[in-house]
Each structure stands twice: as C-alpha cells, then as structure tokens.
Amino acid sequence: MTDPTATPGERRLPTDADVVIIGSGPAGAAYARILSERAPSARLVIVEAGPCVSTPPGAHVKNIADPDERARAQRRSEGPRPHVDDVSSDTMDGYTSAEARLQRPGTFLLTSGWRQDGEDGLPAAAMSSNVGGMGAHWTGACPRPGESERIDFLDDLDDLLDEAERLLGVSADALADAPLASTVRARLSAALDDGRTPDRRVQPMPLAVRRTDSGLVWSGADVVFGDETRSNPNAVLIDEALATRVLVDGERVTGARVRDLRTGEEQEIPSPFVVVAADSLRTPQVLHASGIRPPALGRYLNDQPQIVHAVRLRDVDPVADASTGDTTITAQSGVSWVPFTDALPFHGQVMQLDASPVPIEGDIVPGSIVGLGWFCAKDLQASDRVAFDDGEVDDYGMPAMRIHYTLTDRDRATLDTARRAILEAGESLGEALDPEPLVFPAGASLHYQGTVRMGAVDDGTSVCDSRSQVWGVRGLHVAGNGVIPTATACNPTLTGVALAVRGARHIADALTTH
C-alpha cells in the first residue's frame, strides 16, 4: 500500500483499478484486507476524503502518547470545521453532559438539516473524516448481536463474526482481569442474570485492543488493513481524495469520479467493482449524488437511543496500580457487558470514568467511578431517513443532508424500561452520583444503521442483497453499519465488518474465477 502522505507533486490519482473502495474506516479496510488475502493481484484503490493522521495509516489516535500530538490528530479528523477551542483529548469527556449538540473529539456534527419541524431529529449526528474514519476514535467495544439483533437470512453469520473478530483484533480477555472488573461483573450478574441464557449473561466486553509490554494498543483501521494490505504492492491508499460519484453504465458500475482535495483536480477511475464504505450518512449521499436512488436509500435510519448513569462503586479498597502504561479509562475496572435480549431490548456497557463527572467529597478509590451506558434498539420506521437536497451542498460540495427522525411511543417505552434497568444495575454497584440517569440527544450513540440496508429479496425495503451488492447495479457494493438491516442495540462495528467480509469474499471470487 503506497504512502498516503506523499506530497502533491509526487502523487497521481490512478487511472485504472479492479476495485475502488470509497472510505478507509473499518468497513472499507475490511474489503481491502480480504481482497489482499484472497485476490492479491487485484489492483485496489482506496480513496479517503480525510487526511492521514496516524501511523500506520488508520491507527487509533489513543495510541498517540503525546497529548498535543493526539489533539492535533483529532482536530485534523474533524472535517472542514474542526473544534476551535482547546478541547480535552479524552473521548469520555462529556459522558454525563446534557448538551444537545455535544461534539466528541475527532468527530464533527452536521451543520444544518439535523432536525425538521415537528420531528426529534438527530442533533448529535456526527462523522469523522480521516484515514481510519471513526475507527481511529472509537471505544472498541465489539459485542456480538443476539436474538432479534441477528440477521436471520444469513446462515454464515457466526463464521463472518469470527472473521470480523480476527480482522479487528478482538479479545474478551484483554481487560477481564482488571483489578475491579470481577467485582463489577459479580454485582451486575447477581442483579441481572436471572432468566438469561448463558450467552446473554453479564460478561467481559469483547474489545478491539491488545496488551503489549508497553501498554494497551487499541485497534483502528490499521489493524484491519493488516500487514497483508500494507505489503500489497497492488493496493493504493489516497487520502484527501473525495469520491464525488460512482459511474454506472446501464446495470453495471464502471468506476468512480474522484476529486483530489489538495489540488481540486477531478478524475474518473474506471473499475468493474466499486465499494462505497463512506459511513451510514455519506454512503447514501454518494449513491444519491450518482443518481442511484433505490426507494429504500437513506431510509430505516436508526440510532440507538442512549441513556447514561454514573455510579461510585461501594465498598471497594484501593488496589495496586494496574496501569499498563496506558492512561485510558479501563485500566482498573475493565469494561463489562450486559447483553441485549428481546425481552429487555437494550444493551449495557459499564466502564471506568477517568474522573468523576460531578465533584465528590473525600478520597476516591482509583477506578471506582463507573459510567453505565445503555443503548436501546430503535423501533424501525421507513420514514426515519437521511434525505438529500439537490439545491444545496455541504462543506464538501456534496448534496446537503436532511435528517427526518422521530422516536415512537414504543421507543419511549423502551427508554423508560432501560431507565429502570440502569437504575437497578447502578444500585447493585454502588451509589449514584446523580439520582436520575440522563437520556442522551438522538445521534449521540454514533451507531447509525439501516440507510443502505441489506435484504433477502428486492422488495423495495432494502438497498443491497446479502452480499452487499446494490440491487440492480452489478459490481456496486455498499459497506458499513448502514448495511445492517436489524434493529441492533449492541455496538455495530463488529457486525458491519462481518457483512463487509461477506461482500469482499464475493468480489474476490468474481475476480479470481474470471
């Protein structure tokens, strides 16, 4: 994979490819990795709108030890309108903030169109523009979907999830033995496990992280690309290059049009396969801009309504410093997982907060302040959608987004049940810092799904088939959380990457059998 930091004089947009991949987050990287492994002679061109901010390309910014350098990488990921003030580089800052338009480091919000009159909207809808996408800023929680979160028409889903865990470097053990983790799990289990099947009981959260002698190393898209992609002489990654449209001739994709954001030059890259992995909001944007507008495009948009609570663990003694050389949130109390069930359609994640979000008198045992985040499965509606305005453009010159989004009565009832459940979980652990949990503004989960959803048949309620190929456009694939058709409450990246594996295998088969 060639160096994406090449200076303008040195770089040329390729004139030809076998596969163009638009977007370099975990989903785009999964296509590059599988194709590098299974079709190594295929010429891969990965175009990414944002700059390369870390080494290797796509690496998690939390692995950057110097806080100023980390903050710079975050600012460079925040698109055309980065944070202007000094902001903390801690992604957990604001964990219990009620601010409706909270902008997390490394992400940027929609400047307009995030709410329509009379609707709830997605005030906190966010994106990242950098090599690695949001995958350079994420928390790395990788739970498996369960019960109705699963996609019932994919009989190979477990194999795909295994493969996604391999690509993301997921482990349930990395922090399971953190000093306070077993106490947290034991208390949650005693309160919540009754009636759950073994796979749905409280357990350590599978995390995309590995322990090394020098500390924790968080997986970003760099881990997904892997050495297989990095050493592939036929793969090219071009940062600061915006795909403005995909090109279609009849029922077949023929390439992509790309703008070099450093020079302003535009070029068509002919290719028999194009994968649009540009996140759940911008993947439908690229299709819309290209005139590819199946009825379900942008629809069934769902964000996981999120409720949070902070608790001080009761009766815990200070433990020896468990620092692994890493300053992040998880060293003492790990990350615990309360899985989704159909009866309780939300999923819980309990993790250490670095500092108390509210002032506390007296000494605090390190690691004893934990945040509980409960994510709910949305009641899916076709009317919840990202639409596009052909008369207005966004900061990138692409059709401006118009979000239509409302919570239903069922969503409000689920949030109410989740509120009671999070209070029960909190009581099992210790004393609440605030008596009432906080419902985050819609969009804050950063888990947007459904906008290019997969379907078993082309009945107008899906955008692509089970291999992620857009209905009626051969060679055009969509990738990322937008492909997930079910209402999940679990963090979606693992599932999104699993579906990308399926699509990439299909392209690899097509390239190697012809």
CB of residue 246 vs ligand FAD: minimum separation in angstroms? 10
Tell whether residue 26 is a contact of ligand FAD (CB under 6 A).
yes
Report the alpha-carbon distance of residue 406 to residue 400 in Å, rounded. 20
CB of residue 59 vs ligand FAD: minimum separation in angstroms? 13
Shorter beta-carbon distance to ligand FAD: residue 312 or 337 = 337
CB of residue 291 vs ligand FAD: minimum separation in angstroms? 15
Shorter beta-carbon distance to ligand FAD: residue 299 or 312 = 299
Number of neighbours of residue 457 by Cβ within 10 angstroms: 11
Q: How many residues touch ligand FAD (CB under 6 A)?
A: 40
Among 63, 89, 139, 333, binds ligand FAD (CB under 6 A): 139
Tell whether residue 493 is a contact of ligand FAD (CB under 6 A).
yes
Tell whether residue 23 is a contact of ligand FAD (CB under 6 A).
yes
Residue 405 half-sphere exposure toward CB, CA atoms < 13 A: 30
Shorter beta-carbon distance to ligand FAD: residue 316 or 493 = 493
Report the alpha-carbon distance of residue 340 to residue 201 in Å, rounded. 9
In the block, which residue shows the tokens 């299909």? Answer: 506
Which residue out of 137, 447, 477, 506 is catalytically annotated? 447
Report the first-to-last Cα separation within the chain, whole angstroms: 24
Between the alpha carbon of residue 479 and those of residues 58, 62, 299, 376, 395, the distances in Å are 17, 25, 15, 23, 23
Contacting range for ligand FAD; rule: CB under 6 A; set: 132-140, 196-204, 314-322, 326-334: 132-140
Please give the DSSP secondary-structure letter assigned to residue 469: B
Q: 157-168 vs 221-230: helix axis angle to the nearest 10?
A: 80
The three-class DSSP label of residue 4 is coil
Among 122, 164, 236, 243, binds ligand FAD (CB under 6 A): 243
Is 447 among the catalytic positions?
yes
Are residues 27 and 479 in contact, defined by beta-carbon separation less than 8 angstroms? yes
Report the alpha-carbon distance of residue 224 to residue 226 in Å, rounded. 5
Binding mask 190-209 for ligand FAD (x = CB under 6 A): --------------------
The three-class DSSP label of residue 449 is strand
Tell whether residue 24 is a contact of ligand FAD (CB under 6 A).
yes
Alpha carbon of residue 405 to chain centroid: 20
CB of residue 445 vs ligand FAD: minimum separation in angstroms? 8
Are residues 77 and 60 in contact, defined by beta-carbon separation less than 8 angstroms? no
Tell whether residue 282 is a contact of ligand FAD (CB under 6 A).
yes
Residues 437-476 that bind ligand FAD (CB under 6 A): 446
For ligand FAD, the binding residues (CB under 6 A) are 22-28, 47-50, 91, 104, 106-107, 128-130, 133-135, 137-141, 242-243, 277-279, 282, 286, 446, 480-481, 491-493, 496
Active site residues: 447
